[in-house]
Amino acid sequence: MTAPDPSAAFTPTPIAFDPADPTERRLAFLMEADRLKEIERAGRVAGGRRENSAEHSWHLALYALALGSEAAEGASVDRVIRMLLIHDLVEIDAGDTPFHGEKRADLDAIEDAAAARIFGLLPAAEAGEMLALWREFEAAETPDARFAKALDRMQPVMLNLATGGGTWPDFRVSEQQVLDRCGPPIARGAPGLWPRIRDRIRAYFAARGA
């Protein structure tokens, strides 16, 4: 089944939500979150087009679900999934910062403000919980956050490998740069996965004669 061609003009229609009602606040948050689908990343899906941050977040949550047995002892897969579902929402305001690109000096401040605004759409207690979960992810110190970070580093490598190098030739990064930048976070959060990724990175660069 394909849908009828949407030839009728598209009319954006902002919905009003009552900020005094907790459930209305949750709906407002969910409508705002829709905008993450418009945030384009540097990397590509295996089909070739640029990936967006919403579908990337879905893919990462599925990574956590399928690879949970690779997490360090003490990690909770369900908590990692929650973390990954919300980890990129700040990009609605801050945009995506490519892993191999330059990071603007004020990025942390911009992302902090974004987190306060976006999670702040929720009722206060829930906003506080999501903000704490996002900060835990960013700090990458707990077993849950380390596993989440490892997956966030690993999934783009897999897609780069599936797309002729993906962002590596785009950013002209060397084999050693890829190994140095991706190795530590992946090895720390998912030690059993890193050798598989490392060997594939090496094979890619070897085949390219770089």
Residue from 19, 73, 75, 86 touching a second copy (CB under 8 A): that is 86
Residue from 196, 202, 206, 210 touching a second copy (CB under 8 A): that is 196
Stretch that binds a second copy, among 99-107, 108-116, 140-148, 174-182 (CB under 8 A): 99-107
Q: Considering the complex, what minimum distance in angstroms separates the CB of residue 141 from a second copy?
A: 23
Q: Does 116 bind a second copy (CB under 8 A)?
A: no
Cβ atoms of residues 179 and 103 within 8 Å = no
Distance CA 159, CA 3 (A): 30
Cβ atoms of residues 134 and 87 within 8 Å = yes
DSSP string, 109-156: HHHHHHHHHHHTTS-HHHHHHHHHHHHHHHHT-SHHHHHHHHHHHHHH
In whole angstroms, how large is the CA radius of gyration of the chain? Answer: 19
Stretch that binds a second copy, among 75-83, 108-116, 136-144, 175-183 (CB under 8 A): 75-83
User: Which residues in 25-44 contact a second copy (CB under 8 A)?
Assistant: 26-27, 29-31, 33-38, 42, 44
User: Which residues in 128-187 contact a second copy (CB under 8 A)?
Assistant: 155, 158-159, 161-165, 167, 169-171
Cβ atoms of residues 32 and 115 within 8 Å = no
Residue from 72, 93, 112, 126 touching a second copy (CB under 8 A): that is 126
Q: Does 10 bind a second copy (CB under 8 A)?
A: yes
